[in-house]
C-alpha cells in the first residue's frame, strides 16, 4: 500500500449533541477511537483535513495514523463515517485501533477492468455494477488497497460473483465465510431495453407484412 494518511487531532472532553454542534460550527469533526481493549478516546479533527482525505478511496482501506496533540499517535482504520444528507459535510468519524496479530474486517474498493473489451459489451450489452466494494478479513500487512474485477470473459446475460474474484494471499471474503448462500453478484451485463423494444417492433412489422401478403 503506497498511500499514507495522517490526521492531526486533539482530545475533547465534552460529549453530547450540543458539544458536537459547537465543534462543527468551529470547523471540526467529532470523532472517536475504540478497540484493542482500551478505553475509547474522544477526539476533534479539522473538517477540511478529513474531508480532503476521504476524497481518496484508498483512505478507506489503509492503516491511518492519528496524531493526538499532547498525546500518542494511534494507528487505526476507519469504521464509520457519517455525512450530512444535504451538505458536503462530515458529521462524525469512528476509528478502530488494530492489533497487527489480529484479523481486520475492512471494506475494500473494487476496480473493474477490461469492461470495454469484454464479450458482452462488444455484443451491445450494458454493464451494471451491483457492488463497488467488498468486506474482507486479513491481517494489517495483507490489507489490499483495492481488488480487481476482471470483466473480460463476461457475456450478455451473465454475472460475476464474489467467488469469481482472485483475492490476494491472506485475504478472505467476510460474506463467503458465512456460507455459499452469501455469494452475491458483483456485476452483470444485460441487453439494453431499447434493443428489446426494437426487436419486438421488427417482429410486429414482419407479422404485418405477412398478413398483407396473404
Question: Domains in the chain, ordered, with CATH?
Answer: 5-98 (2.40.240.10), 105-196 (2.170.120.20)
**Per-residue DSSP letters for 92-126?**
EEEEEE--TTS-EEEEEEEEEESTTTSHHHHTT-E
Indicate if the pLDDT at residue 163 is higher than 70: yes
Please answer whether residues 127 and 121 qualify as being in contact, where contact means their C-beta atoms are separated by less than 8 angstroms: yes
Report pLDDT for 1.
47
| pLDDT tens digits, one per residue of 172-182 | 999 999 998 99
Output the average pLDDT for the chain: 87
20, 25, 28, 31: CA torsion to nearest 10: 10
pTM score of the predicted model: 0.75
Between 207 and 8, name the one with better pLDDT: 8
Rounded-to-integer distance, Cα 171 and Cα 175, Å: 12
Indicate if the pLDDT at residue 184 is higher than 80: yes
| pLDDT tens digits, one per residue of 25-71 | 999 999 999 988 889 999 999 999 999 999 999 899 889 999 998 87
Amino acid at each position: 500500500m503506497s498511500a499514507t494518511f495522517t490526521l492531526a487531532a486533539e482530545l475533547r472532553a465534552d460529549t453530547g449533541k450540543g458539544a458536537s454542534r459547537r465543534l462543527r460550527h468551529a470547523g471540526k469533526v467529532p470523532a472517536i477511537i475504540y478497540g484493542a481493549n482500551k478505553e475509547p478516546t474522544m477526539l476533534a479533527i479539522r473538517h477540511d483535513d478529513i474531508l480532503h482525505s476521504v476524497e481518496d478511496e484508498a483512505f478507506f482501506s489503509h492503516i491511518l495514523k492519528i496524531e493526538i496533540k499532547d498525546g500518542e499517535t494511534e494507528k487505526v482504520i476507519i469504521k464509520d463515517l457519517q455525512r450530512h444528507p444535504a451538505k458536503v459535510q462530515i458529521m462524525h468519524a469512528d476509528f478502530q485501533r488494530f492489533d497487527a496479530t489480529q484479523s481486520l474486517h475492512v471494506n475494500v474498493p473494487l476496480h473493474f477492468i477490461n469492461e470495454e473489451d469484454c464479450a458482452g459489451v462488444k455484443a451491445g450489452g450494458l454493464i451494471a455494477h451491483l457492488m463497488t466494494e467488498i468486506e474482507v478479513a486479513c491481517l494489517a500487512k495483507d490489507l489490499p488497497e483495492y481488488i480487481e474485477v476482471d470483466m473480460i470473459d463476461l457475456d450478455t446475460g451473465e454475472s460475476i460473483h464474489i467467488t469469481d474474484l482472485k483475492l490476494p494471499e491472506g485475504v478472505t471474503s467476510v460474506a463467503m465465510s458465512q456460507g455459499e448462500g452469501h455469494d452475491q453478484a458483483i456485476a452483470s451485463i444485460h441487453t439494453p431495453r431499447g434493443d428489446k423494444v426494437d426487436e419486438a417492433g421488427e417482429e410486429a412489422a414482419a407479422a404485418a407484412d405477412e398478413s398483407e401478403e396473404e
